[in-house]
């Protein structure tokens, strides 16, 4: 159906758009937020291609390792007393926060689709469905997977393996109340993928594991990790010089293809402009005009009635007589 194709197109473009944006952002939580947007796009791609099992299964596994990544990011921010939010403001955190480091690593591997973590099983299903639909859809899913592995390990390598940039008080590991949920989520991020058979039975669609697609999926994830490793650990390319050389592209990606500016300039400001116009015309002139007119009308009527109720007995007798004569006239002549 054409409606499903629309869902697939929107999902695929959303996945690619958010993944590209995540590669250029440096905010600790924004990178993971764009990652969430990208993974949701992959789920809708699977839905649009008719594979509800893959979409729902990835939604489930994604919940574990993405929550783990967000908690790990929160642990890092907590370690610096909420003073940092940029990945380049942290460095060598594996020395100070080993449990947070291990948790972030597990979440990153699962997100990258590395065997045998949960993300491998669910993302492999989506990639397989995409290639079954067409080579183009499969290529799109593969590119998104490559970018995903790259940007999440870029974040991890900079924060946990990079040069120490923090000054003053040293960062510290988070308390147990924060670490225990991370450990539980780490376990679920590893084992949740093995529930795939149960999901298939619930949704009534048995899925096969394609060995060639599985190998390709892992290879793509490892390629993204390797690129991030070579750039941010080995330093074969200076990221700052690369960003400067590709400044227009870097700015475009970091600004999310200027969609936020478009939203603010066109939608938000447009809404404010029309709201002011409506306020000046409909609100002030029409609605307030009707209210004020009714007020002045009632006030005039009240003034008239007040003049009648003047407390003079002769006027009351006059009005009573006129009323009596009017009723008498109607009684006699109204047939």
For the chain, the residue count is 335
CA 87 distance to own-chain centroid: 20
| 32: in domain | yes
Quick one: 90 and 221 in the same domain? yes
Helix ranges, the chain (H): 2-24, 28-48, 52-79, 98-111, 118-133, 135-156, 176-191, 196-203, 211-232, 239-245, 247-254, 259-262, 269-278, 288-308, 313-333
Quick one: 71 and 181 in the same domain? yes
CA 333 distance to own-chain centroid: 80
Quick one: 153 and 293 in the same domain? no
| 253: in domain | no
d(CA 58, CA 15) in angstroms, rounded, equals: 14
Quick one: 55 and 132 in the same domain? yes
| 245: in domain | no
Q: State phi, psi for 80 to the nearest 5 degrees.
A: -105, 20
Mean pLDDT (10-residue bins), the chain, 335 residues: 87 91 87 92 92 88 92 88 79 87 93 89 88 90 93 91 73 86 92 73 64 86 91 79 66 67 73 78 76 77 70 74 85 73
Quick one: 57 and 185 in the same domain? yes
Quick one: 69 and 193 in the same domain? yes
Quick one: 44 and 155 in the same domain? yes
| 304: in domain | yes
CA 146 distance to own-chain centroid: 21
Among the candidates 213, 237, 261, a domain finishes at 237
Quick one: 127 and 57 in the same domain? yes
Among the candidates 237, 265, 293, a domain finishes at 237
| 20: in domain | yes
Quick one: 12 and 128 in the same domain? yes
Quick one: 200 and 61 in the same domain? yes
User: Residue 81: CB partners within 8 Å, gap ≥ 6?
Assistant: 169
d(CA 292, CA 247) in angstroms, rounded, equals: 59
256, 17 Cβ separation under 8 angstroms: yes
Quick one: 141 and 290 in the same domain? no
Quick one: 185 and 313 in the same domain? no
Among the candidates 237, 269, 293, a domain finishes at 237
| 267: in domain | no
d(CA 228, CA 202) in angstroms, rounded, equals: 38
C-alpha dihedral (101, 105, 107, 109), degrees to nearest 10: 180
pLDDT given at position 85: 81
pLDDT given at position 197: 64
224, 149 Cβ separation under 8 angstroms: yes
pLDDT given at position 278: 79
| 191: in domain | yes
Q: What angle do CA 177, 64, 112 make, to 5 degrees?
A: 120
Domain residues for the domain of 118 are 1-237
Tally of structural domains, the chain:
2
d(CA 19, CA 2) in angstroms, rounded, equals: 26
C-alpha dihedral (241, 242, 245, 247), degrees to nearest 10: -110
pLDDT given at position 314: 74
d(CA 256, CA 241) in angstroms, rounded, equals: 21
| 257: in domain | no
Q: For residue 150, which of 58, 253, 48 has the smallest C-alpha distance?
A: 253
Q: Which residue has the tokens 């758009």?
A: 17
């Amino acid at each position: 159906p054409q409606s499903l194709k629309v869902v697939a197109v929107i999902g695929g473009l959303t996945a690619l758009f958010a993944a590209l944006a995540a590669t250029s952002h440096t905010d600790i939580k924004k990178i993971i937020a764009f990652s969430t947007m990208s993974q949701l796009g992959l789920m809708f791609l699977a839905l649009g291609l008719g594979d509800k099992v893959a979409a729902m299964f990835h939604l489930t596994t994604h919940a574990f390792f993405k929550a783990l990544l967000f908690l790990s990011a929160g642990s890092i921010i907590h370690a610096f007393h909420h003073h940092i939010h940029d990945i380049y403001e942290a460095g060598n955190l594996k020395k100070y926060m080993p449990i947070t480091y291990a948790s972030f690593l597990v979440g990153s591997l699962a997100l990258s689709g590395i065997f045998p973590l949960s993300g491998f099983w669910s993302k492999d299903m989506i990639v397989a469905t995409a290639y079954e639909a067409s080579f183009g859809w499969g290529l799109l899913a593969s590119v998104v997977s490559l970018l995903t592995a790259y940007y999440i390990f870029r974040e991890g390598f900079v924060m946990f393996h990079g040069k120490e940039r923090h000054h003053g008080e040293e960062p510290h590991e988070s308390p147990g109340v924060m670490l225990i949920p991370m450990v539980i989520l780490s376990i679920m991020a590893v084992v949740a993928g093995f529930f795939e058979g149960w999901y298939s039975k619930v949704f009534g669609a048995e899925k096969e594991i394609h060995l060639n697609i599985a190998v390709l999926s892992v290879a793509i994830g490892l390629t993204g990790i390797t690129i991030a490793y070579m750039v941010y650990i080995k330093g074969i390319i200076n990221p700052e010089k690369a960003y400067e050389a590709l400044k227009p592209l870097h700015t475009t990606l970091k600004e999310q293809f200027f969609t936020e500016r478009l939203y603010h300039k066109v939608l938000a400001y447009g809404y404010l402009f029309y709201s002011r116009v409506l306020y000046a015309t409909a609100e002030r002139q029409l609605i307030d005009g009707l209210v004020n007119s009714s007020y002045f009308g009632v006030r005039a009527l009240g003034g008239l009635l007040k003049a009648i109720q003047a407390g003079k007995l002769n006027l009351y007798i006059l009005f009573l007589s006129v009323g009596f004569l009017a009723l008498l006239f109607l009684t006699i002549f109204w047939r």
